[in-house]
Amino acid sequence: MDTIFQAITDWLKEMLVSGIMDSLSGMFDAVNQQVADVASQVGTSPAGFSPGVFSMIRNVSESVIIPIAGLILTFIACYELIQLIIDHNNLANFETWIFFKWIFKTFVAVMLITNTFNITMAVFDVAQHVINSAGGIIGGSTAVDASALAGMQDTLEAMEIGPLIGVYMEVLILGIGMKIMSLIVFIIVYGRMIEIYLMTSLAPIPFSTFGNREQSQIGQNYLRSLFALGFQGFLIMICVGIYAVLIQSVSFSTDIVASLWGIMGYTVLLCFTLFKTGTLAKSVFNAH
């Protein structure tokens, strides 16, 4: 009878250890893959991220938004001319240079609108250069070492069935949490790129306001927002670099659950800091 109970105990123990190790392996693989993809995704330009979407956004902007920007520019140019005439006492104090000034400002505004995509892509080219340079400096693996999993298996095999059941339940909860964290990382990285596409689609409208000193605040804030979006990728790289250092500092001791919760805590911290990168980048560039 004792032999039967021992066989059942060994079978349950083997099943629990196998289930725990399978859950741990899948849990770490999902998060490791998402975090590893962050560096490559934020280091990709809008044109290279999805050429099809970029081409669609550019066509829509040039065929739909630029005519609207042209109407706004026409209104601003007429308003500027009227203001110049009024400021010079209805041309009683006539000075030829004011018309050359108006023509030059209008010419510059037209050139900005017609080269909107070149300018916006130049902003992101600068940001991508900084991000790629940072990627070469920030090192460290964000993956949990496979040898750590092997050590965990040895520890699990030395445990009794009761504690193993508790570890199994906690690992299931951690697995759900880690999948949610990996989904959040995916949403933040891809959401940033979608926001870039949305911003660039309307670029001609704020660029059309540079012809007037008062209205140019719209265009200036738009440019600051573009730089904030671009350099948000740099802040994301910094967050991933910090995460890589922290995750490698986790030591898998006999208290496996505490080690797993430590990894979970660092992953939650990574998601929180990734959420804050957008707000921080906008505050740095004074964009709103």
List, for residues 77-92, the tens digit of each pLDDT value: 888 888 777 776 655 6
pLDDT at 135: 66
Q: How confident is the model at residue 1 (pLDDT cuts 50, 70, 90)?
A: low
pLDDT at 5: 67
Classify residue 244: in a domain, yes or no.
yes
pLDDT at 197: 92
In whole angstroms, give the CA distance from residue 243 to residue 54. Answer: 31
* pLDDT above 80 (res 263): no
* pLDDT above 60 (res 237): yes
Range of the domain at 249: 2-64+116-284
In whole angstroms, give the CA distance from residue 6 to residue 26. Answer: 30
pLDDT at 189: 83
* pLDDT above 70 (res 175): yes
Average pLDDT over residues 49-69: 88
CB 288 within 8 A of CB 282: yes
Distances (CA, A) of 282 to 228, 234, 272: 5, 13, 17
pTM (two decimals) = 0.78
Distances (CA, A) of 42 to 133, 197, 235, 237: 12, 14, 10, 8
Classify residue 107: in a domain, yes or no.
no
Classify residue 108: in a domain, yes or no.
no
In whole angstroms, give the CA distance from residue 15 to residue 21. Answer: 10
Residue 146: CA atoms inside 13 Å, Cβ hemisphere, count? 1
CB count in 10 Å sphere of residue 182: 21
Number of independent structural domains in the chain: 1
Classify residue 81: in a domain, yes or no.
no
Average pLDDT over residues 239-268: 74
Rounded to the nearest integer, the mean pLDDT of the chain is 78
Classify residue 89: in a domain, yes or no.
no
